[in-house]
């Protein structure tokens, strides 16, 4: 038996003993996706976390996802196998207190130094636009969700913004997702200036080059990409939206404008189709931190438990529940 098989066997044994479920985001390493009970986009994973029957959730993703699971299922033990698996975009917004200054993004040191541009907090923003509802992308920490009216994901942002009873809406923290919502709704969007470094690095020139290289391919792009990219795409959707679209499409070749981890499922579920990454370096280092060994460690040691303080949870769950009510 190979070392990998031994680890997988041990994980499966412990999983049963602990009454645990392994949930993995579509960007996780293939070997982690393989052992997961559920794999999906942020919206699907939120729904799973709220409904699944188990004692322990091992969340293979980044910390805001494990926090959401803990918010929605406070009676369960939620484990994040890699404590350092965080989301730089989620760290670009704070409710109050010291702002965080990013010089370079961890794992993307070749990027020119970038100084976090905000000199105010979410509370300052709410004060600046009194009464304007706040729509918060799930890629945020629990305290930011707690200060929001409703959450959204990349799969439902347009529906969520349209559901809000106001012509003007604050959308945080992703400026690209906000631009997409602005383009696809009749609302005035006030945005925060955050972004995902994996998607924001793609430009219209990359699209032109990829189209030249693969002239027959259909281009799918994630709404965390810049608007200049989204306007050139054939289809804009979440990661699981891309899985559904590629399966249903008659096209045989696709350019994929999101983190390269999605290519594993795309290829597995569509063996007769060809998938090219829009850029080969669309890799989220934080999503890649979790390995089989990390999952085994989490189940053995029951670490690292993610628990949101009850006063924050009670406020944050309202914003998440409101989103989950939208079909």
- Give the footprint of ligand SF4 on this chain (CB under 6 A): 62, 87-89, 139, 196-198, 259, 284, 286-287
Stretch that binds ligand 13P, among 52-60, 95-103, 153-161, 243-251 (CB under 6 A): 153-161
Between 30 and 127, CB nearer to ligand 13P: 30
Distance in angstroms (rounded) separating the CA atoms of residues 316 and 154: 18
Distances, alpha carbon 18 to alpha carbons 80, 195, 298, in Å: 15, 37, 11
Interface with ligand 13P (CB under 6 A), residue from 46, 63, 153, 182: 153
> What is the closest distance, in whole angstroms, from the C-beta atom of residue 199 to ligand SF4 in the complex?
6
Edge-to-edge strands of the sheet including 253-257?
235-236, 218-221, 253-257, 274-277
**199 touches 214 (CB < 8 A):** no
Residue 267: is it exposed, middle or buried by C-beta count within 10 angstroms (0-12/13-18/19+)?
A: middle
Number of residues that bind ligand 13P (CB under 6 A): 13
Binder among 77, 176, 239, 290 for ligand 13P (CB under 6 A):
239
Choose between 107 and 133: whose C-beta lies nearer to ligand SF4.
107
SS3 at position 94: coil
Nearer Cβ to ligand SF4 (237/286): 286
Between 62 and 246, CB nearer to ligand SF4: 62
Answer yes or no: are the C-beta atoms of 26 and 222 closer than 8 Å.
no
Nearer to ligand 13P, 61 or 94 (CB): 61
Q: How far is the CB of 153 from ligand SF4 (least distance, A)?
A: 11
In the complex, what is the shortest distance from the CB of residue 202 to ligand 13P, in angstroms, rounded to a whole number? Answer: 13
Q: Is 28 in the site for ligand 13P (CB under 6 A)?
A: no
9 exposed, middle or buried (CB, 10 Å; 0-12, 13-18, 19+)?
exposed
CA angle at 184 for the pair 130 and 231, rounded to the nearest 5°? 125
In whole angstroms, the minimum distance from the beta carbon of 166 to ligand 13P comes to: 24
């Amino acid at each position: 038996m190979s070392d990998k098989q031994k680890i997988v066997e041990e994980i499966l044994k412990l999983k049963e003993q602990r009454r645990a479920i392994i949930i993995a985001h579509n960007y996780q390493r293939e070997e982690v996706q393989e052992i997961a009970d559920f794999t999906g986009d942020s919206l699907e994973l939120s729904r799973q976390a709220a409904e699944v029957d188990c004692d322990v959730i091992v969340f293979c993703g980044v910390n805001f996802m494990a926090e959401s699971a803990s918010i929605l299922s406070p009676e369960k033990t939620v484990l994040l196998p890699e404590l350092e698996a965080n989301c730089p975009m989620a760290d670009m917004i704070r409710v109050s207190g010291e702002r965080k200054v990013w010089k370079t993004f961890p794992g993307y040191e070749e990027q020119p130094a970038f100084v976090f541009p905000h000199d105010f907090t979410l509370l300052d923003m709410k004060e600046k636009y009194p009464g304007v509802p706040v729509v918060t992308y799930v890629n945020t920490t629990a305290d930011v969700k707690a200060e929001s009216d409703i959450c959204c994901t990349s799969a439902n942002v347009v529906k969520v913004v349209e559901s809000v009873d106001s012509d003007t809406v604050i959308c945080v923290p992703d400026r690209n997702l906000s631009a997409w919502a602005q383009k696809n709704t009749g609302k005035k969007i006030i945005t925060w200036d955050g972004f995902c470094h994996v998607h924001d690095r793609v430009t219209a020139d990359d699209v032109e080059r990829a189209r030249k290289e693969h002239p027959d391919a259909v281009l799918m792009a994630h709404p965390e990409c810049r608007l200049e990219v989204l306007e050139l795409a054939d289809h804009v959707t979440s990661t699981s939206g891309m899985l559904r679209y590629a399966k249903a499409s008659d096209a045989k070749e696709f350019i994929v404008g999101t983190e390269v981890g999605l290519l594993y499922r795309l290829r597995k579920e569509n063996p007769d189709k060809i998938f090219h990454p829009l850029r080969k370096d669309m890799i989220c280092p934080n999503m890649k931190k979790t390995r089989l060994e990390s999952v085994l460690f989490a189940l053995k040691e029951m670490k690292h438990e993610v628990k949101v303080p009850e006063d924050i949870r009670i406020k944050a769950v309202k914003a998440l529940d409101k989103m989950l009510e939208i079909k």
